[in-house]
Amino acid sequence: MHRGLRTCFSRLGHFIASHPVFFASAPVLISILLGASFSRYQVEESVEHLLAPQHSLAKIERNLVNSLFPVNRSKHRLYSDLQTPGRYGRVIVTSFQKANMLDQHHTDLILKLHAAVTKIQVPRPGFNYTFAHICILNNDKTCIVDDIVHVLEELKNARATNRTNFAITYPITHLKDGRRPSTTGTQ
């Protein structure tokens, strides 16, 4: 067996030594061809494209929402405006009894939830991250708050002062300070 292996490897070495151009250029050519095929290779970064079926109900519903409630991209971009996957968080608040989410009890709960989210702290070695460190900042270097929170605060203030002339109109509400946030959740 030892003699057979020695003979085979001796012949292989002799064959390679007698054809040096082929054995020197073939690996280079194969590497170039395989490398050229990677130039057309594109990494698919869309998780939605990789995991969701082409005609899934979620995609159809998102397209419907985008067509019915177009987003004005000229304003500040908020997390509530984003309708594609990304690194942001969203909280959707609903009522168990299908009650009015604008009544005083639910308005207070939503504003308490908003306050709790803005007070979240994440302790890391050497630094405590707060909501102010990761939020989207406006030109004044303050966190941008979704317009629906401003509407709920205005509604709460109107109730506290017994104002009865505050109305939420669809799709745009006129606030006391003159701003006109969209009540659809988009800007």
> Apex CA 169: angle with CA 166 and CA 171, to 5°?
150
Please give the DSSP secondary-structure letter assigned to residue 20: H
Tokens 């969701």, residue located: 52
Give residue-wise pLDDT tens across range 41-85. Answer: 787 777 777 777 878 887 888 788 778 876 555 455 554 555 555
What is the number of residues in the chain?
187
Q: Is residue 122 classed as helix, strand or coil in its secondary structure?
A: strand
Q: Is the dihedral of CA 173, 178, 180, 181 positive or negative?
A: negative
**Most confident segment among 20-29, 60-69, 78-87, 129-138:** 20-29
Query: What does the pLDDT read at residue 186?
Result: 40
How many Å apart are CA 171 and CA 90, to the nearest integer?
A: 21
**What pTM value is reported for the model?**
0.51
